[in-house]
Amino acid sequence: MSLNPMHQFQVYKIGPEINLGGLNLSFTNASLFMTVSSVLILALLFFGTKKKLLIPSKIQLITEMSYTFVAKMINDTAGSAAKSFFPFIFTLFMFVLFSNMVGMLPYSFTTTSHIIVTFVLAAIVFVGVTILGFVKHGFKYLELFVPKGVPMVLLPLIVIIEIISYLSRPVSLSVRLFANMMAGHTMLKVFGGFVISLGLLGGWLPLGFSIALTGLEILVAFLQAYVFAILTCIYLNDALNLHH
Amino acid sequence: MELEAAKMIGAGLAAIALAGAGVGIGIIFGNYLTGAMRNPSAAQKQFPNLLLGFALAEATGLFGLVVALIILFAF
């Protein structure tokens, strides 16, 4: 069973079972690793901003880099109007990044490899952006579905396509992150299984592959967090600056 | 047993979607390199767009992979 590449995604409870009104709220390994990544983010930001040196220490440098990275990303894609959403996007980016990175450690659990986690994050973004758009523009927000400069003949078709693409945003946003994480970790485990089954003689080739894939997965872990955050910025841009 | 075999075939067919992702990623990186060779000074600015396009192209293929996994494990 330990050779099954899907075994790593199993959620099991740690400690006592807690049932609240039919809901199973037991503390699982998923919740444990979510807590771990949240605590790591808090620790990084706490120790990084504790001593504000002019010449930064390493941990302060990492904190400042992540801050400026997200700030620049928001400014480039959503403009200065989205400045007030910095805390939200920073939290989102750091949580996804740390969940992905903690998942790269051997014997750990990748919380973002479960669709429910990523879908909740994407649904928060989608619902929040939609509410924001309607609050800011009223019913003029529906103009988002009517691109400018489209011939009248094509307009009904385009509007339907635009509405479908708008509604598929939470699905594509969540499935992208979840599928990348799950596919990558499955692939790592499959190659790990090859190392074991080929043994001492032939196992070196898949071991080398496995090492290279780990590097690729770390890149993908960062990239997916970045893409998740930047797509959130793009959606925010649509809601804040209509047709710009 | 027939259902089991059909599931395997279906999952294999669903994984063909990854071919499209491969083509898409190749096009994105190839065109980025072409553009960067023509105008190296503009290349650095378009790097975030490259990563974004790469992730978007990869995701569409991974949707197919998800379909394969759903066929294999969810039914």
Which structural domains are found in chain B, ordered by start?
Answer: 19-74 (1.20.20.10)
Work out the burial of residue A204: count CB atoms within 10 Å of its CB; fewer than 13 is exposed, 13-18 middle, 19 or more buried: exposed
Interface test with chain A among B45, B49, B51, B72, by most A beta carbons within 10 Å? B51
pLDDT band at residue A129 under the 50/70/90 scheme: very high
The pLDDT value recorded for residue B36 is 92
**Helix residue ranges, H only, chain A:** 29-48, 58-78, 86-103, 115-137, 155-167, 169-202, 204-240
For residues A176-184, average pLDDT? 89
Whether chain A has a CB inside 8 Å of the CB on B48: the answer is yes
Of all helices (H) and strands (E), which one includes residue A24? strand A23-24
The pLDDT value recorded for residue A1 is 45
Cα–Cα dist A182/A89, whole Å: 23
Contact at CB, A227 and B55, closer than 8 angstroms: yes
Of all helices (H) and strands (E), which one includes residue A20? strand A19-20
Ramachandran assignment for B50, one of left (phi > 0), alpha (psi -120 to 50 degrees), beta (any other): alpha
The pLDDT value recorded for residue B69 is 81
Residues of A in contact with B48 (CB under 8 A): 73, 76, 230
Residues 6+ apart with CB under 8 A from B60: B17, B20, B21, B24
For residues A149-154, average pLDDT? 85
Contact at CB, A179 and B55, closer than 8 angstroms: no
From A177, A186, A198, select the one nearest A119 (Cα to Cα). A177
Cα–Cα dist B29/A104, whole Å: 26
Whether chain A has a CB inside 8 Å of the CB on B29: the answer is no
For residues A210-229, average pLDDT? 91
DSSP-assigned letter for residue A55: S
Interface test with chain B among A176, A222, A230, A232, by most B beta carbons within 10 Å? A176
The pLDDT value recorded for residue A51 is 81
Cα–Cα dist A90/A74, whole Å: 10
The pLDDT value recorded for residue A10 is 83
HSE-up (13 A, CA, CB side) for residue A217: 25
In a domain, A41, yes or no: yes
Lowest mean pLDDT among A3-17, A37-51, A230-244: A3-17
pLDDT band at residue A244 under the 50/70/90 scheme: low
The pLDDT value recorded for residue A87 is 94
Q: The tokens of A97 are what?
A: 């990044």
The pLDDT value recorded for residue B55 is 81
Residue with tokens 């708008």: A166
pLDDT band at residue A2 under the 50/70/90 scheme: low
Contact in structure between A185 and A156 (CB atoms under 8 Å): no
For residues A28-33, average pLDDT? 90
Q: For residue B16, report the phi and psi dihedrals to the nearest 5 degrees.
A: -60, -25
- State which residues form the domain around A92: 7-240
In a domain, A152, yes or no: yes
Taking only the tens place, the pLDDT of each residue in B2-50 is 888 998 999 999 989 889 999 999 999 999 999 999 999 988 888 888 8
Beta strand A19-20 with A23-24 is: antiparallel
The pLDDT value recorded for residue B46 is 86
In a domain, A2, yes or no: no
Cα–Cα dist A182/A115, whole Å: 9
Q: Which of B52, B62, B73 sits opposite A180 (nearest CB)?
A: B62
Cα–Cα dist A147/A154, whole Å: 11
Sign of CA dihedral A27, A32, A34, A39: positive
For residues A27-56, average pLDDT? 89
Contact at CB, A183 and B55, closer than 8 angstroms: no
Taking only the tens place, the pLDDT of each residue in A34-48 is 999 999 999 999 988
What is the rounded average pLDDT for all residues in chain A? 88
Q: For residue A24, report the phi and psi dihedrals to the nearest 5 degrees.
A: -90, 105
The pLDDT value recorded for residue A122 is 95
In a domain, A1, yes or no: no
Number of domains in chain A: 1
Q: Which of B54, B59, B69 sits opposite A172 (nearest CB)?
A: B59
pLDDT score of A242 more than 60:
yes
